[in-house]
Amino acid sequence: MSVDLRSLLGESLYDEVVTYFVGKTGEPVDYVERQTLECLRYLYLVSAHRDELAGLFLPVEQEIDEIWHYLILQTAEYRDLCARLPGGFFIEHRSISYTEYQAEPPREQAIGEALRWIPLYQKEFGPFDEGALPHWTMVRFLHAELGLSLDEIGTAAVS
């Protein structure tokens, strides 16, 4: 991938995010750095593929969403980040209640929406690797629960 997402965020804010979440979660620095990268990849995909991904459920783990929330609270920097992403538009976040989450969408639709991310991710960033696995809910499910290898997941997603 030619875009350096860390630089798009800015070194200072990147370091601030990593330091904050290492302190908050107790996770190792390299793990939190990967969480931050996957959050930026998520935002990049939303920006680059607005039409395909608009309104879909968040396919990443809660910790990635928390990093996104932290970025949103840095309003000026977040606005600038959104402007530098490929779509150039402000990426809004809308939380829904657990009741609303349970009510929609039906399981088959949710699976279809979650699978839509995989080929787009691979097109932009290459195949999923072990480092990305804990952060993307559907990929982790396919790997851990269905026993698919990362290669099989990548192949199935583009079929």
Where is pLDDT greater, at 103 or 84? 84
Per-residue pLDDT band at 107 (split at 50, 70, 90): low
- 17-36 pLDDT, tens digit each: 999 999 999 999 999 999 99
Task: Give ∠ CA 91-24-66 in degrees, rounded to 5.
Answer: 20
Fill in the amino acid letter for 159.
Answer: S
- What tokens were used for 66? 């928390």
- 86-101 pLDDT, tens digit each: 999 999 886 654 455 5
Instruction: Give residue 56's pLDDT.
Output: 77
Percent of the chain with pLDDT strictly greater than 70: 87
Weakest mean pLDDT among 1-5, 16-20, 44-48, 72-76: 1-5
b/e sequence 149-159, b meaning 16+ C-beta within 10 Å: ebeebbeebee
Query: pTM to 2 decimals?
Result: 0.88
Q: Using an 8 Å Cβ cutoff, are 47 and 82 in contact?
A: yes
On the question of pLDDT at 157 being above 70, the answer is no
Fill in the amino acid letter for 109.
Answer: Q
**Contacts for 26 with CB less than 8 Å, ≥ 6 apart:** none
Phi, psi of 60 (to 5 degrees): -110, 165
On the question of pLDDT at 146 being above 90, the answer is no
Q: Using an 8 Å Cβ cutoff, are 18 and 35 in contact?
A: no
- What tokens were used for 42? 């998520």
Phi, psi of 136 (to 5 degrees): -110, 110
Q: What is the CA radius of gyration of the chain?
A: 15
